[in-house]
Amino acid sequence: MKSLLFHSALLLALATAPLTHAADATIPNSKPVRALLITGGCCHDYALQAEAFIEGVKKYGAVTWTVVNEGGTTKNAKIALYDNPDWAKPYDVVVHNECFADLDDPVYIRKITAAHRAGVPAIVIHCAMHTYRVTAADDWREFLGVTSRRHDHQSKYPVTPVVKAHAAMLGFPASWVTPMDELYVIEKLWPGAKALATSVSEADGKTYPVIWANDYHGTRVFGTTFGHGNATWHDPVFIAVISHGLLWAAGREN
């Protein structure tokens, strides 16, 4: 019984504590990128996604990771990290892969966007685009570079690169079909954002950005609306583009 209780306590500690992962020593880089991954909330296997990204990026660059997975499976959680006004300062880039669609608190949201507006780069993945979608304020959407409130059904979507020369698109194939994933309906591409790749909706026949780069008041933000299912996170093309996007956002594209 004591052994079982100890094992359960250990699993609980691992599940709730922030995780720090060292860079792969086989990658020649004297100054690893310091990345913070904010994840958690509704609808996705965030533990698997975090590990897939952490392992996958090793092929492309040296990254040290801090992972904050909070909020359980709710759609309206708040992350205590943001109560510290200097929450983003230790990092070269922040990865937003959370899903808190029903949280409506503009003051809280501006604690996040203020750090990025001050110069901390970011990459935003999948449900980060629907996070805080119920709020009327546009602060989060301007930061993302896109406005989206809904998505189409899951399918295998052909992806067409439109800016092949961008550093985040390094090695991106001329044609790529996603694993089963969701196509987000983009209502608006903000003035600072540039679509890097698009897909066509099977529902309305319209073309939507699925990969983009955003200039948020001089701060680099890379985004993709894909990343719903585990199969996408096991796809080498997806891992490559978010890895290159992370390095570009952090200013390490060379």
Q: Mean per-residue pLDDT for 204-233?
A: 98
pLDDT tens-place string over residues 2-59: 333 323 332 333 333 344 333 343 444 469 999 999 999 999 899 999 999 999 999 9
Record the pTM: 0.88
Pick the CATH number of 32-249 from 3.80.10.10, 3.40.50.2000, 3.40.50.880, 1.10.3210.10: 3.40.50.880
Rounded to the nearest integer, the mean pLDDT of the chain is 90
What is the spatial distance between Cα 226 and Cα 181, in angstroms, rounded to a whole number?
7
pLDDT tens-place string over residues 120-160: 999 999 999 999 999 999 999 999 999 999 999 999 999 99
pLDDT beyond 70 at 99:
yes
User: Tokens in use for 171?
Assistant: 């090695």
- In this prediction, residue 14 carries a pLDDT of 33
What is the spatial distance between Cα 168 and Cα 165, in angstroms, rounded to a whole number?
8
- In this prediction, residue 63 carries a pLDDT of 98
Place of tokens 């966007």: 113
pLDDT tens-place string over residues 55-74: 999 999 999 999 999 988 89
From the number of C-beta atoms within 10 Å of its C-beta (0-12, 13-18, 19+), residue 25 rates as exposed
The residue among 7 and 208 whose pLDDT is bigger is: 208
- In this prediction, residue 9 carries a pLDDT of 31
Q: Alpha helix locations (H) across the chain?
A: 2-16, 46-56, 106-117, 139-144, 230-233, 236-249
| Cβ proximity of 223 and 214 under 8 Å | yes
From the number of C-beta atoms within 10 Å of its C-beta (0-12, 13-18, 19+), residue 11 rates as exposed
